[in-house]
Amino acid sequence: MTCIESPANKVDATPRLALSTLLPQLGGALAGVSALAYVAGRQEVQSYLLHIGASWAFTLMPASQVMQESASLLILLGTITFLVVISILENKSTAAGLRRWSIIWGCAAVVTFIVADLPTTWVPQKTALFLATLTGIFWAISAALTIGELVAEVRTPNFAWKAYHLWLVYFIFIFGLRQAPDAMGAARAALDIDPKLSSLPRIAPPSSTEEPWRLITSMDGKFLLVRLSADAGDRMFRLLNTAEGWEIRPKK
């Protein structure tokens, strides 16, 4: 007797095949995002600690904390890249147009960087810090538009990799993962270390009447503290165990 398998008894393997194909892609994407987060976070943290005067403290930071430091930058970069790619898929943007806007935002970043670096007699400190932050944002926008340009180039018929496309990848790395986090880390450090503008929390032992320390961050079970000074040579740093029970003082 010949047994005929009815359609109801058939098992469709397509979903399982699709899932088996999708999971490695998702794993690769997550690994790639984690790597980018670490690279950007490392650049921002190193820039911040270097300008504060505590570059030695970077070795105490766990990798997870380093990646968290770049979250706002990667969200900005990812959001703009997503919108640009959607625009490309809807045929609203071209490689030439994205290239033009990438250059414009890159030039804007250069201008804000130069102006922010002028002497304080020309540019007030608060304005310089604001422009320094804008520099990082402008670099991120330029990087996202460059990613869009590369995507638009790849979608063209008979696409073939050329030296120009490798330069695009290089600029994406320089703008998005080097220049932007470096500028944002330096701007944040300049604001935090200025005795008049700093918003770092004040911390001191209970009932202490001495000048309170400022809390920079926590790392590996310790607090990194600083005594602020306009002169980098007069700054003092201290590592405090989190279990020592110091108190946060209100801002004066």
Say if residue 91 is in the same domain as residue 157.
yes
Helix (H, G, I), strand (E, B) or coil at 177: helix
* Cα 94 → chain centroid: 27
The listed range with the strongest mean pLDDT (37-41, 128-132, 198-202) is 198-202
**Euclidean distance between CA atoms 106 and 186, whole angstroms:** 18
Q: Is residue 71 part of a domain?
A: yes
**214 lies in the same domain as 186:** no
- Regarding predicted confidence, which is higher, 178 or 84? 84
Does residue 101 sit in the same domain as residue 187? yes
146 and 239 both lie in a single domain:
no
| 186, 207: one domain | no
**pTM value?**
0.68
User: What does the chain come to in residues?
Assistant: 252
Tens of pLDDT, residue by residue over 164-193, are 777 777 777 777 677 778 877 888 888 888
Residues 6 or more apart in contact with residue 170 via CB below 8 angstroms: none
- Amino acid letter, residue 192: D
φ/ψ region of 201 (left if φ > 0, alpha if ψ in -120 to 50, else beta) reads beta
For residue 21, pLDDT beyond 50:
yes
Q: Are residues 142 and 174 in the same domain?
A: yes
CA distance 176 to 44: 11
pLDDT tens-digit profile of 198-209?
Answer: 888 898 888 777
Domain carrying residue 224? 202-249
Q: Are residues 59 and 161 in the same domain?
A: yes
Q: What is the pLDDT of residues 88-111, one digit of tens each?
A: 888 888 888 998 998 899 889 888
Kindly tell me if the per-residue pLDDT of 11 is higher than 50.
no
Specify the number of domains making up the chain.
Answer: 2
* In-domain check, residue 11: no
Residues 122, 238 share a domain: no
Tokens 């570059």: give the residue.
55
Q: What percent of the chain has pLDDT over 90?
A: 3
